[in-house]
């Protein structure tokens, strides 16, 4: 079972032994996302400067946030989440 984003893994064997393994690093787990965030922000700002459509539409961005909210709720409540009913996108 992967227990967190820092890659701590708990292995359960057939004889009920538990082995814990974790990766140790000298940096935050968020460091690996910096280049991706920078590239995304640059592409968005370039679209504004050039008067072109953004690489990701507002609806696609909203749908991604809807999905992430559902993931968090599902993990917190330990149950499946009906995205459309629990996080409806009521936009005109």
Residue 69 has pLDDT above 60, yes or no: yes
CA-based Rg of the chain, rounded to a whole angstrom? 19
Nearest to 5 by CA among 80, 84, 71, 90: 71
Alpha carbon distance 70, 84 (integer Å): 10
Cα distance between residue 83 and residue 43, in whole Å: 29
Contact (CB, 8 A) for 62 and 91: yes
Is residue 88's pLDDT more than 90? no
Residue-wise pLDDT for 33-50, tens only, equals 888 889 999 999 999 999
- Whether 11 shows a pLDDT value over 80: the answer reads no
Share of the chain above pLDDT 70, in %: 75
pLDDT band at residue 55 using 50, 70 and 90 as cut-offs? very high
Task: Assign 56 to helix, strand or coil.
Answer: coil
Residue that wins the pLDDT comparison between 33 and 67:
67
Q: Does 63 or 10 have the greater pLDDT score?
A: 63
């Amino acid at each position: 079972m992967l227990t967190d984003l820092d890659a701590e893994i708990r292995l359960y064997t057939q004889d009920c032994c538990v082995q814990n393994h974790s990766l140790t690093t000298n940096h935050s787990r968020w460091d690996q996302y910096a280049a991706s965030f920078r590239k995304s922000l640059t592409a968005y700002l370039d679209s504004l400067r050039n008067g072109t459509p953004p690489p990701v539409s507002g609806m696609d961005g909203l749908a991604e946030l809807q999905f992430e909210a559902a993931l968090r709720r599902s993990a917190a409540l330990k149950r499946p989440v009906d995205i459309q009913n629990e996080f409806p996108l009521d936009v005109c």
